[in-house]
Amino acid sequence: MRQCQSQVAIFSILAALILASLFIATSLAVAAPPVPRDMPLLSITRAGSDISHQLTLADLEALPQRTVTGLIPDVGDTLAQWTGASLAELLDTRDEPLPGRLTASALDHYYEILPGDDLTRFDPIVAYLRNGDYLSINERGPLVIMYDHTQLPRGQERPYYNRTVWQLTGIHLE
């Protein structure tokens, strides 16, 4: 009888341990980024300069976080909270002055020109989280330029939609 009770106790402890490790594994899986944190994801270049900055997810996450309300336009996306680094702040930490314009380019060879003024007017971010989740390449990640859609001029959103560059890989400053 005594032995039976201790077996029950051992099984309960084992079951608890297995459940606990499953729980930890699941939460780690959710929090894990889709790419290694030390992999260069974004290159920043400036016209007439040899200097280029290679930024990893760890670099972006080391900057102060900014969260905006937005979506990827025209793809059936719903408004979400996008978190990332302010583009203006990012350039500032790399000692890059505000450019007249920047060309943002993507993995699929899409590119769009952003007026430098946008950075002070709207403070768009290089987002790496959507509602707290990292984005895989299939989900148009891992990096997306995101504007705060609640701040866009009514009826004139289209240019900002075009500037919502997903799968962002490069920023060229001029």
Binding residues for ligand MTE (CB under 6 A): 72-75, 106, 108, 110, 161-162, 164-167
State which H helix or E strand residue 19 sits in. helix 2-31
Q: Whose Cβ is closer to ligand MTE: residue 28's or residue 75's?
A: 75
The DSSP bridge pattern shows strands 65-70 and 80-86 to be antiparallel
| Whole-number Å distance between alpha carbons of 131 and 10 | 40
Residue 133 burial (CB < 10 Å; 0-12/13-18/19+)?
A: middle
Minimum separation from the CB atom of position 165 to ligand MTE (A): 5
Q: What share of the chain is helix, strand, coil (3-state, %, to 5)?
A: 30, 30, 35
Minimum separation from the CB atom of position 167 to ligand MTE (A): 4
Minimum separation from the CB atom of position 140 to ligand MTE (A): 7
Q: Whose Cβ is closer to ligand MTE: residue 86's or residue 167's?
A: 167
At residue 41's C-alpha, the angle toward residues 37 and 44, to 5°, is 130
Q: Whose Cβ is closer to ligand MTE: residue 34's or residue 73's?
A: 73
User: For residue 115, how many other CB atoms are within 10 A of its CB?
Assistant: 13
Q: Whose Cβ is closer to ligand MTE: residue 52's or residue 162's?
A: 162
Minimum separation from the CB atom of position 163 to ligand MTE (A): 8
Q: Whose Cβ is closer to ligand MTE: residue 93's or residue 151's?
A: 151
Of 97, 61, 95, 84, nearest in space to 165 by CA: 84
Minimum separation from the CB atom of position 34 to ligand MTE (A): 16
